[in-house]
Amino acid sequence: MQMILEGKALCKYYGEGENQVKAIHQVDFSVKKGEFISIVGQSGAGKSTLMHIIGGLDRPTSGEVIIIGTSIYSLPVNQLAVFRRREIGFVFQGFNLVPSLNVWENIILPIGLDGKKADVGYIEDILNTLGIYEKRTNLPTTLSGGQQQRVAIARAIASRPAIVLADEPTGNLDSRSSGDVLDLLRLSVQKYNQTLIVVTHNDEVARLADRTVRVVDGSIAVEALQ
Ligand SMILES: Nc1ncnc2c1ncn2[C@@H]1O[C@H](COP(=O)(O)OP(=O)(O)OP(=O)(O)O)[C@@H](O)[C@H]1O
């Protein structure tokens, strides 16, 4: 299977000398096309640091991140921003929708910023898959948390990115909508052949994944096939 992402000897250190924190230390990490991976670990283990590094949001102290053949931190900062917008779809705990834009406008926003035309048929299909087609002209504030997160998922996959990264995607949802959102997240990444990495504290989320990566004290402890 095609390798979508490779992290090589990733380190992220904060501070100096005695006070230095090795948030991530010599982590190797690879993801194949179409895989669903969960990253788990205790608070402070280094999950968010790892996710920010592989998402192009935070430069490692050393090491390399290669996404679809591009060593992303070798790119100039402005090109890295464009690469991130095109190739990485983010789903955050807090949804991060633009409140003044309706559902459809939120979903096509990153595509428009890229100077591209939205594939209307594809996005309508995604909205139907996620059960929010009828809500396409609603403002985010008129939607439940679960519906808002489904909009964020639609936005993340609308540009057909190389990777979808989700950081505690159900962290702000009650258990029923969490289950719905997770099922839909998994269904849509499968249907559209997307690659998904989810950072989570939630064991149920982790169990849905093809593979779980456990981060302990800045290193990957166990990689289990499920
Ligand atoms: N900007 C920073 N400056 C100094 N130390 C930091 C910084 N960011 C993170 N750390 C430290 O790096 C380590 C890893 O933090 P990180 O946020 O990646 O853990 P986490 O597993 O995502 O935790 P949580 O589940 O609570 O979000 C922790 O010891 C944290 O205190």
ipTM score for this prediction? 0.95
Which residues have CB under 6 Å of ligand 1?
A: 14, 21, 23, 41, 43-49
Distance 157 CA to ligand 1 centre (A): 28
Atom of ligand 1 nearest to the CA of 45: 21
C-beta of residue 167 within 8 angstroms of C-beta of residue 202:
no
Q: pLDDT digits over 8-19, tens only?
A: 999 999 999 999
Structurally, how many domains does the chain consist of?
Answer: 1
Pairing, β 211-216 against β 36-40? parallel
pTM: 0.91
How far is 149 from 169, CA to CA, in rounded Å? 8
How far is 206 from 34, CA to CA, in rounded Å? 16
Residues in contact with 161: Cβ distance below 8 Å, sequence separation at least 6, in sequence order: 86, 87, 88, 89, 194
What's the CATH number where 76 sits?
3.40.50.300
How many beta carbons lie within 10 A of that of residue 41, not counting itself? 22
> Sheet harboring 88-91: ordered strands across?
88-91, 163-167, 196-199, 36-40, 211-216, 219-225
Range of the domain at 10: 3-225
Whose tokens are 């990733």? That residue is: 10
> What phi and psi, each to the nearest 5 degrees, are found at residue 131?
70, 30
Distance 199 CA to ligand 1 centre (A): 13
Atom of ligand 1 nearest to the CA of 41: 21
> In 3-state terms, the chain is what percent helix, strand and coil (to 5)?
40, 30, 35
C-beta of residue 197 within 8 angstroms of C-beta of residue 51:
yes
pLDDT, tens digit only, all 226 positions of the chain: 689 999 999 999 999 999 999 999 999 999 999 999 999 998 999 999 999 999 999 999 999 999 999 999 999 999 999 999 999 999 998 889 999 999 999 999 999 988 889 999 999 999 999 999 999 999 999 999 999 999 999 999 998 999 999 999 988 888 888 888 888 888 888 899 999 999 988 777 888 899 999 999 999 886 555 5
Distance 156 CA to ligand 1 centre (A): 25
Atom of ligand 1 nearest to the CA of 15: 4
